[in-house]
Amino acid sequence: MAILQYLEDTRPLPSLWPSDPLQRARVREICETVVSGIQPLQNVGLKKYFSSADQFQTFAQTIAQRGLQTLEELLKNSSGGKYCVGDQLTAADICFVPQIFNAAGRLEYALLDGCALYDITQSYSQAQALRPWAGPHRPDAASELSVTDVVTTSGADG
């Protein structure tokens, strides 16, 4: 969260935070759900505390699924825009994107067509701001998923 605040302080336009206080609170709620309730609990650094890789994988999948279900509910109640909160990319999207890549890739989580997570992820495939780092556009990403891959792969399972 510190880096997001730094970016906002040093590069305020376009803002990562909506001007409306309620929308800003929704962005923070989504960010905190990811940075406190999903990401640290399925981080690969925890592997050493499990007796096997399979045990860790099961734990990480459970944590990601629980967290993404929570996000699904939060997103259903957000502004109804094409991104996490409205029609502009926000800090919530910056926190969410890596989680969806991790869930769809390493954790084999399937997004269901028609759910808020799926719809928002589809919107990311059109977001110019995400193109420089999202998937095969990066030279170091040849074996990684792109936003389109996440939507296509996940949607095929749903």
CATH number for the domain that contains residue 45: 1.20.1050.10
Distance CA 82, CA 52 (A): 40
Confidence band for 131, pLDDT divided at 50, 70 and 90: low
All residues at 6 or more sequence positions from 146 whose CB lies less than 8 Å from its CB, including other chains: 125, 134, 135, 136, 137
pLDDT band at 132 (very low <50, low <70, confident <90, very high): low
The residue type at 76: K
Average pLDDT (135-153) is: 45
| Domain-located, residue 70 | yes
The reply to whether 5 falls in a domain is no
What is the distance in angstroms between the CA of the first residue and the CA of the last residue of the chain? 32
- What's residue 128's pLDDT? 67
What is the average pLDDT across 116-121?
Answer: 82
Domains: count for the chain: 1
Determine the pLDDT at residue 147: 45
Task: Give the confidence band of 130 by pLDDT, cuts at 50, 70, 90.
Answer: low
Domain assignment present for 92: yes
In a domain, 105, yes or no: yes
User: Does 67 fall in a domain?
Assistant: yes
12 belongs to a structural domain: no
Averaged pLDDT score across all residues of the chain: 77
pLDDT in tens, 6-45: 888 898 888 889 999 999 999 999 999 988 888 877 777 8
The domain containing residue 52 runs over which residues?
A: 20-157
Predicted TM-score (pTM) of this structure: 0.73
Q: Does residue 11 lie within any of the structural domains?
A: no
Q: Is residue 60 part of a domain?
A: yes
